[in-house]
Amino acid sequence: MKKTLLRELPSVDELLRNERLREASSLFSTPIVTEAARSALDLVRKEIISGQREDLSAEEINSAVLSAVSEILRPRVTRIINATGTILHTNIGRALLSREAADAVRLASENNVNLEFDIESGERGERDSLVEDLLKRLTGAEAACVVNNNAAAILVTLNTLAEGKEVIISRGELIEIGASFRLPEIIRKSGCILKEVGTTNRTHRKDYKEALTGGSALIFKAHTSNYRITGFTAEVGLRDLVDIARERGVLVVEDLGSGSLIDLSVYGLPAEPVVSERIGAGADIVTFSGDKLLGGPQSGLIAGKREIVDRIRKNPLKRALRADKLTLSALEATLRLYLNKDSLNLKLPTLKFMTRSVEEIEAAALKAAEILKTGLGSSFSINVEDGESVVGAGSLPGHSLPTKVIAMTHRTEKPEKIFAAFLHASPPILGRVNRERFLLDLRTVECPEDVMPLNFRF
């Protein structure tokens, strides 16, 4: 039986002579249809061998080929509705760009722009100059430059300033961010010698002083973005580190992680380190991300002393890690929004989401809950309750923002099944499961209608 079926399977050539597939070939190019035919035949062959398939119809095989074609052609980047309440969610692309930044990206992607070209003189320019004035104005630094992300900013900074030399860092600051960024590994990859001082919970001035030798290049301070050390603790502040460094003729570099350009406490949010304050406190170089609290494109910003930034700019690694025109355009438009503090929280999505009032979120949640009740039927129990959102990406750790969430349960099925069904809708809707309920947080969703899944299969 199996053998007969296998023998009846058409060859790829025979399949491609079929009229429906010939049509597909003219639409999608022969190599793609051929590849799809091969994979569809493989699949059918496996089904026959495993006993899952006991008959063969030409129609079914054709449809299998056509669905293999659409699988090959399916775009891989998919919009996801972020109903997690996590504003900067690294796995789904962190900060949303403002309309202004998105327009700037579009302009730069469809046109030639003055990326490295000085229109005034008609001569070659410097790409960082597109954003350097804004960065200087917003951070108080003498100079600034941009690379691909903050990890790259740390890599090129350390490599420039401390290759083959010691970098002194507290054991309390040897951070891991996400799964792939570990500060000790970046320091070693920069060609520097990592010299840990102090203990996990306590590091003192004398620890730094005793560690500094003629082979030391700099003291490195890292913002412990995604955790807090509390209890019996001691940390040496930036000003003290700068004093020690000046005395001993070494530099101070600080990795701020998120690094806010504004004081968030103005909005009633917990204070994150503000870049201009760290520059003001004497850090020689400060590095931070463009797509965390700043609310711009993925990028790594390096701000500090003119002479040092110039040295970093000349490092061939800077060339290897440089930002492209799309990033620089988005960054410039984002930074420009910071020039008007009054409209910033209306225009910058990251800040807009962080400062949304509970009342506004509740109104959106109630509206969405009604739509869901009508759309999903009476097997679901749907309520609006108090909840907590977080900023994410290691920003404002340990702090949650009060919110209202839609909490859903099903008469018979587990919340994980509701989670999966929402995620497999188109577009996918990402919620979360908490205490046996499926939760949707509208803080990060623009339109309440967006959380009603289309093509919902349950």
Residues 157-176 that bind ligand PLP (CB under 6 A): 175
Stretch that binds ligand PLP, among 161-169, 250-258, 357-365, 402-410 (CB under 6 A): 250-258
Tokens 């711009």 locate to 296
Which residue, 84 or 225, has its beta carbon nearer to ligand PLP?
225
Total site size for ligand PLP, rule CB under 6 A: 15
Site for ligand PLP contains 28 (CB under 6 A): no
Among 87, 222, 262, 382, binds ligand PLP (CB under 6 A): 222
Site for ligand PLP contains 300 (CB under 6 A): yes
In degrees and rounded to multiples of 5, residue 134 shows phi and psi of -65, -45
- What dihedral angle (degrees, nearest 10) is formed by the CA atoms of 291, 279, 139, 327? -30
- What dihedral angle (degrees, nearest 10) is formed by the CA atoms of 410, 416, 421, 422? 90
Question: Can you tell me the distance from the alpha carbon of 253 to that of 247, in angstroms, rounded to the nearest whole number?
Answer: 16
Binding to ligand PLP by CB under 6 A, coded x per residue (else -) over 34-73, reads ----------------------------------------
Determine whether 327 is exposed, middle or buried from the number of CB atoms within 10 Å of its CB (0-12, 13-18, 19+).
buried
CB of 150 to ligand PLP, least distance (A): 3
**Residue 282: left (phi > 0), alpha (psi -120 to 50), or beta?**
left
CB of 31 to ligand PLP, least distance (A): 38
Which residue, 138 or 175, has its beta carbon nearer to ligand PLP?
175
Among 85, 198, 257, 453, binds ligand PLP (CB under 6 A): 257
Site for ligand PLP contains 25 (CB under 6 A): no
Site for ligand PLP contains 89 (CB under 6 A): no
Classify residue 443 by its DSSP letter. Answer: G
> Which residues, other chains included, contact 279 with Cβ-Cβ below 8 Å and sequence gap of 6+?
139, 140, 141, 286, 303, 304
Site for ligand PLP contains 177 (CB under 6 A): yes
CB of 5 to ligand PLP, least distance (A): 53
Binding to ligand PLP by CB under 6 A, coded x per residue (else -) over 432-451, reads --------------------
Indicate the pairing of strand 251-257 with strand 143-147: unpaired
The answer to whether residues 166 and 139 touch, using CB atoms and an 8 Å cutoff, is: no
Question: Can you tell me the distance from the alpha carbon of 405 to that of 361, in angstroms, rounded to the nearest whole number?
Answer: 8
CB of 135 to ligand PLP, least distance (A): 16
Residues 98-157 that bind ligand PLP (CB under 6 A): 149-151
Residues 373-402 that bind ligand PLP (CB under 6 A): 394
> Closest by alpha carbon to 91, among 180, 224, 223?
180
Which residue, 292 or 356, has its beta carbon nearer to ligand PLP?
292
Written as one letter, the residue type at 162 is A
Taking CA atoms, 321 is separated from 5, 146, 154, 317, 456, in Å, by 56, 9, 11, 6, 43
Which residue, 198 or 394, has its beta carbon nearer to ligand PLP?
394
Which residue, 321 or 425, has its beta carbon nearer to ligand PLP?
321
Q: What number of CA atoms fall less than 13 Å from residue 234's CA on the CB side?
A: 11
CB of 180 to ligand PLP, least distance (A): 9
Determine whether 110 is exposed, middle or buried from the number of CB atoms within 10 Å of its CB (0-12, 13-18, 19+).
exposed
Tokens of 60: 């079914």
Stretch that binds ligand PLP, among 101-109, 189-197, 218-226, 370-378 (CB under 6 A): 218-226
Q: Which residue is nearest to ligand PLP (CB)?
A: 257
Residues 319-358 that bind ligand PLP (CB under 6 A): none
Site for ligand PLP contains 223 (CB under 6 A): yes
The answer to whether residues 155 and 321 touch, using CB atoms and an 8 Å cutoff, is: yes
Tokens 């739509």 locate to 371
Stretch that binds ligand PLP, among 97-105, 221-229, 304-312, 328-336 (CB under 6 A): 221-229
CB of 177 to ligand PLP, least distance (A): 4
Among 166, 235, 255, 284, binds ligand PLP (CB under 6 A): 255
Question: Can you tell me the distance from the alpha carbon of 108 to that of 200, in angstroms, rounded to the nearest whole number?
Answer: 46
Residues 412-431 that bind ligand PLP (CB under 6 A): none
Per DSSP, what are the bridge partners of residue 81?
429
Which residue, 178 or 375, has its beta carbon nearer to ligand PLP?
178
CB of 178 to ligand PLP, least distance (A): 7
Site for ligand PLP contains 181 (CB under 6 A): yes
> Which residues, other chains included, contact 206 with Cβ-Cβ below 8 Å and sequence gap of 6+?
none
Residues that bind ligand PLP (CB under 6 A): 149-151, 175, 177, 181, 222-223, 225, 255, 257-258, 289, 300, 394
